[in-house]
Structure 1
Amino acid sequence: MSAVVQLRTSTQVRGDRAPAPDLIDLARSKTPDDRQRLLMGVIALCEAAPPATALAPALSEIFLTLAAQAEREIRQQLSERLAGVDWAPPALINMLALDEIEIAAPVIAASPLLQDAALLRVLVETTLEHQIAVARRPHLSGGVVDAILDRAEPIAMTALASNRTADISETAMNRLVEHSRRIAGLRAPLTRHPRLSETLAQELYQWVGQALRQSIGERFRIDDRLLNAAVQDAAASASRNAAWRSLPITGRKTEDRERQEMERRLVDKLQSAGQLRPGILIRALREQRLGLFEQALGQLGGFTPAQVRAAIHAPTAEPLYLACTAVGVDKAVFPSLLVELRKLTTGLPADGGWTATPMNSSSAARAFRQMMEKPATV
């Protein structure tokens, strides 16, 4: 009865045009339909004249009691209508945030009454979909950010990396960049994140694909040599785990200066006649003329012999892929070219793969030179 009295007083004091007598009659009824009608009527009443302060305890009790008994569809409507208000009972908002994700999502995304303690409870007690919703919440606090990183759910961290308004500290950004080493989905949103520093960008540069490397370079305008240092560090780490192998003698003798000179003259002649084309690379390999392949690739791309040999010695085929893309080798042809090359070099480049990122020849040439500015000595 006290709740009914509070409801009557509330409506009379505010002069609300809602049918207060009807609501009071509904409050006396115990049927599910009437209780749901009462719930929606009270919401409409508050929306018409929002309380200046938090709802009185009796009215809050009405909300909580009715919401707990409401059908799923009613709870979903309740969540949607209360998501943006500041007068709803916090206990009700917290209850809705723990409900099914379709019901919880609106209040998790927008309710100003959902505090950090409630968000941390959502992270611990609910589903992965709830965690993702929390990670996307605007203006997420640093404490909740750290809790998401502690749980280390890849999809939730990816959602967090896409949240531009979250309070992500430098330490948290460092943790995200480190996670991106194994979680590819983090890399693109981190590349675009406003809190990515130049130092972290250089670290991220080591394991993103070529398109993202180009994006990092364009965003920070970092000197190529600084970006190359990151690549060289990664290459040095790879070489410690799987030592770079020297080219075998088969197919090429370093002391055969005359043969090298002959191949150089042939490439120069083809270049002068306008006949030096990417097709000569496959032809040279099929004829087991590794020196001709190196000379032609260098001439076509304007690469130094050291850069070409470093690409062949690399622990991954990515530098060679970039060099070939730069000179016009189609990405569909590259796998065949690589097979022929490895026949002559007992498996070089090593087993690491490459990222077949679509790019034009100039972008590929720039990326290749960034990698090979300090080629390994052979």
Structure 2
Amino acid sequence: MHQPEQLPHSENSIIAELEEAVRGGSSEKRVHTLRQVTNLFLHDGERLSEDQIKVFDNVLCMLVSRVETRARAELSKHLAPVDYAPVDLIQQLARDDEISVAENVLMHSTRLTEHTLVEVASTKGQDHLMAISGRPHLTEAVTDIIVDRGERQVIRKLANNQTARFSDTGYSGMMAHAEDDDELSEIIGLRVDLPNKHLRDLLRRATESVRAKLMASAPPALQKEIKKVIKAIADVARSDGGLVGRDFTLAEEAVKRMKGLNELNDTAIAFFAETRRFGEVAAALGLLNNVPTEMMAKVLEGPRTDIVLIPCRSAGLAWSVVAKILTHRPIKHAIDTDTLKLAERDYGKLSLDTAQRTLRFWMVHNKVEK
């Protein structure tokens, strides 16, 4: 019959100390024993089998939950780079609410499982996400969650992680984060694994400053691709420049995210108009009025200034924002001063109720007035 693998005498002695510390030792005794075992792993643990390490693992998991934060953090720092560290203990340290305990393990431990990374990324705060974001070889399952939950600094760090892998959904989310973050746009644009469709969309939305920085920083192969994409964008703009028929998925994701963060305000929409990002203007008007983006695109590209006023009033936009939309909207002939003044007067007279009723009429009849 198979006998359990025996530990060497010195290790058995320490296990006995561990069990005594768990059962009733003082706080000082627990910390002292914990340090003894840590030193054992650092100097002799590599020669232990997985079965032997498992013996330590079981007792250590109980002990580590009964010591103070500083001792847990010290243990994490020492064991994080150890390839033979106890597996269950590493998962427990990674789940610790205290970032001083979890950080080193989340950043460096090769014993950490994807399951635990997904759990921590889904449930912990921004400090934990920041630690995970710099970890080598992150999988799509983990990056999808970080992209969804991470704030600006976390997303920038993740985008700078050249070994992290992203799903198409993950990249779409990253692009949405980059809508109002030029620094992130530059970081994403320099990723060699960025799919062409996302590179095209990023460059189409990017400011001239971001395009110039990408051209200056990109390696030769990527620089060539960037030039090619920018030329294609310019060719399309010269031949058609229109909104109708465009894929608004990324613009809609961006404005939806901004609305969730209470950032989809007059300032944001004015910025979109000034930078001629009318896909985002159309998506914003669509979201704020609960109507299709495509309908708003037709309104913005249509010949009638008065029609544009309706969804703007219904969305509650200030005249200063509406003026920027009218001034920069994608039409062949720019609005003149007299027409703009007339529009301002009409906008002042247009009631919220009338604007909302007109939009409902358009939706019911599935058409915009001509």
The two structures have a TM-score, normalised by structure 2, of: 0.56
- Structure 1 position 315 matched with structure 2 position 319: no
Aligned residues: 249
Instruction: Tell me, in whole angstroms, the C-alpha distance in 1 between the residues paired with 2:110 and 2:45.
Output: 15
Tell whether the 8 Å contact from 1:110 to 1:137 is kept in structure 2 after alignment. yes
**Which segment is superposed worse, 186-195 or 32-41?**
186-195
Out of 291, 300, 309, which is 1:242 matched to?
Answer: 300
Out of 175, 182, 190, which is 1:177 matched to?
Answer: 175
Out of 113, 128, 131, which is 2:129 matched to?
Answer: 131
Match of 1:122 in 2: 120
Out of 22, 26, 29, which is 1:34 matched to?
Answer: 29
Out of 56, 59, 63, which is 1:59 matched to?
Answer: 56
Say which structure, 1 or 2, has more relative contact order (CA 8 Å, 6+ apart).
1
Provide the secondary structure at the position in 2 that maps to 1:205. helix
Cα shift at 1:175: 4.2
Cα shift at 1:246: 9.8
Out of 228, 242, 245, which is 2:234 matched to?
Answer: 228
Task: Give 5+ residue unaligned stretches, structure 1.
Answer: 1-5, 13-19, 248-311, 321-340, 348-378
Q: CA RMSD in A?
A: 3.8
Match of 2:110 in 1: 112
Tell whether the 8 Å contact from 1:154 to 1:183 is kept in structure 2 after alignment. no
Instruction: Tell me, in whole angstroms, the C-alpha distance in 2 between the residues paired with 1:230 and 1:181.
Output: 21
Tell me the alpha carbon deviations over residues 2-44 of structure 1, each in whole angstroms, 9 at most, x when there is no partner.
Answer: xxxx7762548xxxxxxx68x8667645111111111101110
Match of 2:70 in 1: 73
Task: Give 5+ residue unaligned stretches, structure 2.
Answer: 1-5, 217-222, 245-277, 279-296, 306-325, 342-370
Cα shift at 1:172: 3.5
Tell whether the 8 Å contact from 2:186 to 2:214 is kept in structure 1 after alignment. no
Cα shift at 1:88: 1.7
Match of 1:211 in 2: 209
Residue type of the partner of 1:70?
V
Instruction: Tell me, in whole angstroms, the C-alpha distance in 2 between the residues paired with 1:240 and 1:314.
Output: 15
Match of 2:90 in 1: 93
For the pair shown, the structure with the greater C-alpha radius of gyration is 1
Relative to structure 1, the CA distance from residue 231 to residue 91 in structure 2 (aligned partners, 3 Å threshold; closer, same or farther) is farther
Cα shift at 1:125: 2.2
Q: Higher helix fraction: Structure 1 or Structure 2?
A: 2
The two structures have a TM-score, normalised by structure 1, of: 0.55
Tell me the alpha carbon deviations over residues 37-90 of structure 1, each in whole angstroms, 9 at most, x when there is no partner.
Answer: 111011101211123432443322232122111111110011111111122221
